Amino acid sequence: MLKNAQKKIEEEAKSEAARREDEMRKEELIDLLGPEVMTKYYNDKLQYDRYCDKMLNRRAKSRITKCDILTRKGPITLKVYREDDTSEIIPEFKASNLHLGE
C-alpha cells in the first residue's frame, strides 16, 4: 500500500514537472516571436480548426433504404427513401443516376 502511494506521488510530480516545462516553453516562444506573432498564429489556428470541424460535420448522404417506381410507361420516375427518413423523387431515371445511392 505504501508503494502504491509512493508511485502515485512520483507520477503526480512528473506530470507537474511536464506541465511546468510546457508553460516555460510557451513563455520562451512568446518572448522570442513576440505577442503579436503568437496572437496571429493562434487566430489562424482557431480559424483552421473551425474549418476542419465544419468539413467533418458536413451532412453526408445517407444510404438508400427503399425505392418505389412511380411510372410504368415512358421515362422511369423513382421515389428514393433514405436512412435519415428523407425521400427524393428522381424524374427520368437513368443508369448514370446510380451514384445517388452512394
pLDDT, residue 43, reads 93
Give per-residue pLDDT as tens, 17-66. Answer: 999 999 999 889 888 888 898 899 889 999 998 888 887 776 666 778 88
For residues 55 and 49, give the distance between their C-alpha atoms in angstroms, rounded to a whole number: 10
pLDDT, residue 30, reads 86
For residues 102 and 99, give the distance between their C-alpha atoms in angstroms, rounded to a whole number: 6
Residue 78, beta-bridge partner list: 69, 90
For residues 68 and 9, give the distance between their C-alpha atoms in angstroms, rounded to a whole number: 67
DSSP run (H or E) holding 51: helix 35-56
Distance of CA 101 to the CA centre of its chain: 23
pLDDT, residue 17, reads 92
pLDDT, residue 38, reads 87
Give per-residue pLDDT as tens, 63-90. Answer: 788 888 887 777 888 888 888 788 888 8
pLDDT-based confidence at residue 102 (cuts at 50, 70, 90): very low
Task: Give, as one character, the DSSP assignment of residue 11.
Answer: H
pLDDT, residue 44, reads 93
